[in-house]
Amino acid sequence: MKIFLTGATGFIGKNLVSHLQKHELFCLVRSREKFESIKNGNVFPVYGDIREELPELPEADVIIHNAAVVRASSKAYYEVNTAGTAALLEKAKKLKTLKKFIFISSQAVSGPAALDKPALEGDEPRPVSDYGKSKAIAERMVRESGLPYIILRPAAVYGPGDRDLFVIFKMVKRGLAFIPTGERHMNFINVKDVCAGIEKALFSPRVNETFFLAHPEAQTQESFVEAIAESAGKKCRLVRVPSSFLKIAGEACALLGFFTRKTALLNPQKVRELLAGHWIVNAERMLGELDFHPSYGLKRGAALTLKWYEDNGWL
């Protein structure tokens, strides 16, 4: 299959390039240096930037639109996640060979949910951050494009190469992990399962549908830490951080980021998501209609991820 992929050099993208080795991949990359990080026999560069005028697209069978910013200024979320999607859709409409447009969205679109009522794909979106809002607008654009599409909303993604949840692995290895006060449940999914879910969507007869990608078993923040600790063979002390302190810390990191011109991992929008409540979804449509069943439970996924960090010198 001939696939045009955006976001190929990011966390999910690099794993996806490795996963789709049997396919012909045309990857949008900003530079030759970026291309070197994913270079392979089945991978061909298309030089361009989602934030600028896009080049003409190759006549692909499927487009997988994975490019996004997950930690940036409010303006950048809409420039990349929203306007970038709009620009790509316009280019995609010119392709005569295109059979499907797969948009990698996010659980951030649906927002938090009540513990006794996990989010459904058809629920009204309730994003609490600009990231989620920018993705929600992009989803609407995909639905209104007239192209055959599948929208995938991964839950909290972790795995080899991830830099966000890596901080938790790092804390556990040091024997001391900080988590917000209060009990919060959430669905996780290993990046290997995200890639398998995307491949499932490639061949699925379903079109014009939206699916969560999530391991169906919800976890707590404590159970995530415990799974990592068990894999590492470490005892880890949990320290609960008051929400008021997290808010102050988020503002302080935002101020620091203003001077360094880098958006910190902990920032006011991330704090808003952390404190919003339960991030849980109903995975029945994924299991039934998409017929996708994640392979990596939390223990197996944590062990795989920990080993990758250790093998690659991150820990």
CA distance 59 to 3: 9
pLDDT at residue 192 tops 90:
yes
Start-end of H helices in 22-165: 32-36, 74-76, 84-92, 130-143
Band of pLDDT at residue 183, cut at 50, 70 and 90: confident
pLDDT at residue 259 tops 70:
no
Q: What's residue 258's pLDDT?
A: 62
Burial 241-280 (b: 16+ CB within 10 A, else e): eeeeebeebbeebbeebeeeeebbebbebbbbbbbbbbbb
Band of pLDDT at residue 276, cut at 50, 70 and 90: confident
The CATH H-level superfamily of 2-160+187-217+279-297 is: NAD(P)-binding Rossmann-like Domain (3.40.50.720)
CA distance 79 to 69: 9
**Tokens for 222?**
């404590």
Band of pLDDT at residue 257, cut at 50, 70 and 90: low
- Is pTM beyond 0.85? Reply is yes
CA distance 155 to 190: 9
Q: What is the pLDDT of residues 278-308, one digit of tens each?
A: 999 999 999 999 999 999 999 999 999 999 9
Q: What is the pLDDT of residues 72-83, one digit of tens each?
A: 888 899 999 999
Q: What's residue 128's pLDDT?
A: 95
Band of pLDDT at residue 111, cut at 50, 70 and 90: very high
Contact status, residue 30 vs residue 48, Cβ threshold 8 Å? yes
Phi, psi angles (nearest 5°) of residue 164: -80, -60
Phi, psi angles (nearest 5°) of residue 195: -65, -40
CA distance 18 to 10: 12
Q: What is the pLDDT of residues 30-51, one digit of tens each?
A: 999 999 999 988 999 999 999 9
